[in-house]
Amino acid sequence: MISKEPKIMILGAGAVGLSIAGMLSKNCYVSAVCRKRHADAISQKGLYKSGIWGEEIIHDIRCYTKSDELFEELIPSDNKKFDFIIITSKSSDTEKICEEYQNLFKNNIIVSIQNGIGNEEIIEKYAENIIGATITTNFSSPKDGFVKVMSESEPLKLGIYPCEFRKNSHNNSIPDYNSELEQLIEIFKKSGINAKRSKNIRSAIWEKSLLNIAVNPLTALLSIPVGDVLDENLKSLITGLIKETFLVMSAKKITTKWAGPEDYLNYLFDILIPSFSNAYTSMYQDIQLNRKTEIDFINGAVVRFGKEQKIETPFNSCICSLIKYQENKVSLSQCTQDQ
């Protein structure tokens, strides 16, 4: 049963999570776990949101920076404090977030709004009821307590994970929280976020990942906006990345709405990339800010599953090595500075 004013907790709120928090706060009681710098700015001046989701300052988001701060406020017996818990951290932080906040997970529905392959499998170790999602919108956080929402090409897609693919490992039955999923979609729509149900969220996540596999590492390595990958030299590289991914998906029996890689590449080059022409990807932002990237969950996942399925993935392996080199260069230079 969802409360009249739904209670939403957002874990790992940065560019995506705070933008969603800002929108949902119109209709919900929203709490967010974020870094102290964001929490301080928001408590002093509110959250500034600009771009295609509207320009406004939002004052009613409750920010927490540590689990003990939050747990102190919760009544111990109240294990259904939130109607939905949404994880919007980078994939590389999913495990840590789950470890830290797992006390909240019992009897709750956990929603992953993240990029990459494998987040739901991590969350599944801590929670029974999982909603997977894809978001094909561009976000950034130019300063603390400030978010900017730019281009958008598809609605937010949400679906029960793993649905038909696997029986619920905890009680051996297909989990049934369809009505909660429908209510969540309504909450998003009412708050101004275009959202729809995905009947096969596992495939939808791979479909969305194709865009990240194609553009995220290249834009990060070359410091370019998405539209610049339409250069002929880069297009042939992207073709290699995508063809390998389709071979891996087919070996894993992941079906998509495209007949094959050529069909997808036409859509990617003619429609998807042009709709994000001036956008800077989340991986570009990570490299610029000297942060660890999500490469292991994007191209790294293709390489991992390729090995499992005995499929060669030289394009994806090469791009992973280049990103790892870039990440190591940064951590090495930080070590030198520390000494």
Ligand X SMILES: NC(=O)C1=CN([C@@H]2O[C@H](COP(=O)(O)OP(=O)(O)OC[C@H]3O[C@@H](n4cnc5c(N)ncnc54)[C@H](O)[C@@H]3O)[C@@H](O)[C@H]2O)C=CC1
Rounded distance, CA 324 to CA 303, Å? 14
b/e per residue 243-252 (b: at least 16 CB within 10 A): bbbbbbbeee
Closer CB to ligand X, residue 38 or residue 304? Answer: 38
* From ligand X, ligand KPL, none, interface partner of 14 (C-beta below 5 to 8 A by class): ligand X
- Compute CA distances 226 → 152, 159, 217, 323, whole Å: 13, 28, 10, 17
CA dihedral 102, 108, 113, 117 (to 10 degrees): 60
Q: How far is the CB of 107 from ligand X (least distance, A)?
A: 22
Contact 142, 168 (CB under 8 A): no
Q: By CB under 6 A, is residue 276 in contact with ligand KPL?
A: yes
- Which secondary structure element, helix H or strand E, spans residue 285, and what is its range? helix 282-288
Q: By CB under 6 A, is residue 212 in contact with ligand KPL?
A: yes
- Which secondary structure element, helix H or strand E, spans residue 143, and what is its range? strand 137-143
Q: By CB under 6 A, is residue 24 in contact with ligand X?
A: no
Q: Strand pairing partners for 30? A: 8, 61
Considering only residues 134 to 173 of the shown chain, the ones binding ligand KPL according to CB under 6 A are 136, 138
Q: By CB under 6 A, is residue 114 in contact with ligand KPL?
A: no
Q: Strand pairing partners for 64? A: 33
Closer CB to ligand KPL, residue 89 or residue 108? Answer: 89
- Compute CA distances 26 → 57, 59, 65, 101, 111, whole Å: 12, 11, 22, 25, 19
Q: By CB under 6 A, is residue 14 in contact with ligand X?
A: yes
Closer CB to ligand X, residue 182 or residue 211? Answer: 211
* From ligand KPL, ligand X, none, interface partner of 276 (C-beta below 5 to 8 A by class): ligand KPL
* Piece in contact with ligand KPL (CB under 6 A), picked from 6-14, 156-164, 252-260, 274-282: 274-282
- Compute CA distances 166 → 163, 200, 318, whole Å: 7, 12, 33
The answer to whether the peptide bond before residue 162 is cis (omega within 30 degrees of 0) is yes
Binding mask 27-56 for ligand X (x = CB under 6 A): ------xxx---------------------
Q: By CB under 6 A, is residue 256 in contact with ligand KPL?
A: no
Q: By CB under 6 A, is residue 100 in contact with ligand X?
A: yes
Q: How far is the CB of 91 from ligand KPL (least distance, A)?
A: 11
Q: What are phi and psi of 286, to 5 degrees?
A: -60, -50
Considering only residues 281 to 310 of the shown chain, the ones binding ligand KPL according to CB under 6 A are 281-282
Q: By CB under 6 A, is residue 279 in contact with ligand KPL?
A: yes
> Please, is 172 exposed, middle or buried when counting C-beta atoms within 10 Å of its C-beta (0-12, 13-18, 19+)?
exposed
CA 48, chain centre distance (Å): 21
* Piece in contact with ligand X (CB under 6 A), picked from 15-23, 49-57, 151-159, 173-181: 15-23
Closer CB to ligand X, residue 114 or residue 313? Answer: 114
Q: By CB under 6 A, is residue 155 in contact with ligand X?
A: no
Q: How far is the CB of 174 from ligand X (least distance, A)?
A: 27
- Which positions lie near ligand KPL, rule CB under 6 A? 115, 136, 138, 211-212, 215-216, 276, 279, 281-282
- Which positions lie near ligand X, rule CB under 6 A? 12, 14-17, 33-35, 88-91, 93, 96-97, 100, 114-116, 135, 137-139, 141, 282, 294
